[in-house]
Amino acid sequence: MSDDDLDQVWRRARARWPTVPPLDRGVFLAWLTERASPGTAVSDLPTDDLYLACACASGDAAALEVFEATQLREVDIAAAKLRAGPDIADEARQVVRALLFVPEHGRAPAIVSYAGRGDLRGWIRVVAMREVLRLCERGKREVPTDDEALLDALSPATDPALEQLKAECRAEFVQAFAGAVHGLSERDRALLRLNIIEGNGVEALGRRYGVHHATAARWLISAREQLLEGTRARLASKLRLSGDEVDSVIRLVRSRVEVSLERLLDG
C-alpha cells in the first residue's frame, strides 16, 4: 500500500472509534505490519478492529470502555447459548477481561495475539465460549456455592453463640444476608467469592484485576463492610429489631466475619 493509502486506513480507523483518543500513526501502522502475514496485504485486514485492539493493548481507558460496550457482550451470548446462570456469566466476564488485558506470569495480555484473521467480535466469541464452557464444566465437578455457603464460610460452625443465633432466626438471617450479597456490585460479589470460597489472596486478586495488591485489599474491605451493613439493614427491617438489638446481632456476626476475612487476607 502507498503511504497515502496507509494514511487513509489510519484516518478511517480513527473515525470508526471517535471516543478513543487518536493512536499515533506510526504506532498503529507498526501494529498492522506485525500482523500482516506473508501474502496478506494490510488492506485485507480488519483494520478498524485492529485499531481498537491496539488502543486496548496500550491500556487506554476510553478504548477499554468501547471494547466493553461493543465486544464483551459475547460473554453473555455464550452464557445464554450454554444455559449458564448469571453467576457463571459474571465470572466468565471477569476471567475474559483479565485474560485479554492483564499480563500474568510473563504472559502478554491475550489481546496482543489478535492478528486480524477474522473480525474482533468473532475472535472474542471463541474466547468467551471457551471460558463459559470451562466454568460450566468446573461447576459440574464442584459443590455449588450459594449465598448460604458463603455465610457458612464466613461464620464457622464451631461458634456455639452463632449457631444458636442461626438456629433461632436462620431463615431471616440467611434471607437478609442473601439480599445484601445481591445488593453488592458485580465486582464486589466476584471478589468475595474468589477470596472466601476459592481462597484467592489479595496478591492473586491484584494480578487478576490488574491492580496493586493494596488496592485489591481495599476493595475487599469495602465489600465486606457493605455486606455487613446491608445484612444489618435488612435484618432490622425483617425482624423489627431496635438499633441496639440488631447491632448486638451484627457484632456477633462481625466478630466471626472479621476473623475469617483477616485470616484470608493475611494468607
Contacts of 86 (CB under 8 A, 6+ apart): 79
Does 70 score more than 80 pLDDT?
yes
**Mean pLDDT for the stretch of residues 256-266:** 40
Q: Which residues pair with 104 in a beta bridge?
A: 107
What local confidence, expressed as pLDDT, does residue 171 receive? 62
Local structure of 211: helix, strand or coil: coil
Question: Quick one: cell of 114?
Answer: 489478535
Give the end-to-end CA distance of the chain in Å, rounded to a whole number: 56
Secondary structure element (H or E) that encloses residue 215, with its range:
helix 213-239
Does 264 score more than 80 pLDDT?
no
Contacts of 137 (CB under 8 A, 6+ apart): none
**pLDDT tens digits, one per residue of 43-63:** 778 999 999 999 999 999 999
Q: How confident is the model at residue 156 (pLDDT cuts 50, 70, 90)?
A: very low
Mean pLDDT computed over every residue of the chain: 76
Region of 21 on the Ramachandran plot (φ > 0 left; ψ -120 to 50 alpha; else beta): beta
pTM, whole model, 2 decimals? 0.52
CA-to-CA distance for 198 and 176, rounded, in angstroms?
23
